[in-house]
Amino acid sequence: MSMVKTLWVLVEGLFSKPMTIKFPHEAIEIPDAYRGEHKFDIDRCASCGFCAEICPNKAIEMVKLPEQYTQKYKKTYPRIDLRKCCFCALCQDICVKKCLKMTKNVFLATPDPASLIKDPMPKVQGEE
């Protein structure tokens, strides 16, 4: 009896839709609360350094900006090392000004590890 049942389940499986999806062509929806790559809004940052303090992996370091920006942005700002980041979103939760946000971006694989260090101000073309 159980043999018949099992066969039935297996036959059913032959005609049902697969559970997987064809990834590059379609993808499952990522919810809004997802903890992906950071987005940093420098204009709202108060340079409090709480994010660097709470980071369990010490992936955030408060740094000064390159000289051409120091006129406008005089304080220190978080530089995030995504190689050390564990995507816990504690920095997002503790941010007073809500300037650090986790986005839905999960495509972080890269052949160039240095590109995973997120400077507070994106580097301008031609700069060292």
Partner 1 sequence: MSGRNIMTDQMSGKNPTGNEQIEPATDDSTEYDFYFGPAHSGSGNFGVKLKLDGERVISARADPGYLHRGFEKLMEYRTPIQNAVISDRLCVLEPLNWNLVHAEAVDELTGIEVPERARYIRVLMAELSRLQSHIIWYGVMSLGLGFDTGFRLAFGYRDYILDIFELITGGRCYPAGYICDGGVRRDLPEGYAERIKNVLDKIKGFMENIKSFDNLFFANRTKGIGVLKLEDAIRLGATGPVLRASGMKTDVRKDDPYEIYSELDFDVPTEKQGDANARCTVRDREMEESIKIIKQVLDRIPEGKTRKPSRIKRPSRTKIPEGEVYVRNEIARGEACIYMRSVGESAPYRVKVRGPDFLHMIPVLEHLLKGCELADVPAIYWSLNICPADMDR
How remote is the C-alpha of 33 from its chain's centroid? 12
Query: Residue 46 CB, nearest distance to partner 1 (Å)?
Result: 14
By CB under 8 A, the count of residues binding partner 1 is 29
Q: Is 103 in the site for partner 1 (CB under 8 A)?
A: no
Contacts of 14 (CB under 8 A, 6+ apart): none
SS3 101: strand
Q: Is 34 in the site for partner 1 (CB under 8 A)?
A: yes
Interacting positions 52-81 with partner 1 (CB under 8 A): 53-54, 56
Q: Is 109 in the site for partner 1 (CB under 8 A)?
A: no
Nearer residue to partner 1 within complex by CB, 65 or 95: 95
Contacts of 111 (CB under 8 A, 6+ apart): none
Q: Is 90 in the site for partner 1 (CB under 8 A)?
A: yes
Query: Residue 84 CB, nearest distance to partner 1 (Å)?
Result: 13
Among the listed residues 105, 100, 111, the one whose alpha carbon sits nearest the alpha carbon of residue 60: 100
